[in-house]
Amino acid sequence: MPKLTVQNLAQLQVKIEPGQTLLQALQAQGTDWMHACGGKGRCTTCRIIVLQGIEHFGPLTVAETRYREKGRLKENERLACQCTLAHGDASGKVPEQTKLPHLNYSS
Q: Tell me the domain boundaries of the chain.
A: 3-96
pLDDT tens, position by position, 6-53: 999 999 999 999 999 999 999 999 999 999 999 999 999 999 999 999
Total count of residues recorded for the chain: 107
pLDDT tens, position by position, 71-102: 999 999 999 999 999 999 999 999 999 999 99
DSSP code, position 37:
T
Spatial separation of the C-alpha atoms in residues 81 and 43, rounded to whole Å:
10
Burial 60-93 (b: 16+ CB within 10 A, else e): bbebbeebeeeeebeeebbbbbbbbbeeebbbbb
CATH of 3-96, one of 3.60.130.10, 1.10.3860.10, 3.10.20.30, 1.10.10.10: 3.10.20.30
The pTM of this model reads: 0.95
Task: Decide if pLDDT at 107 tops 90.
Answer: no
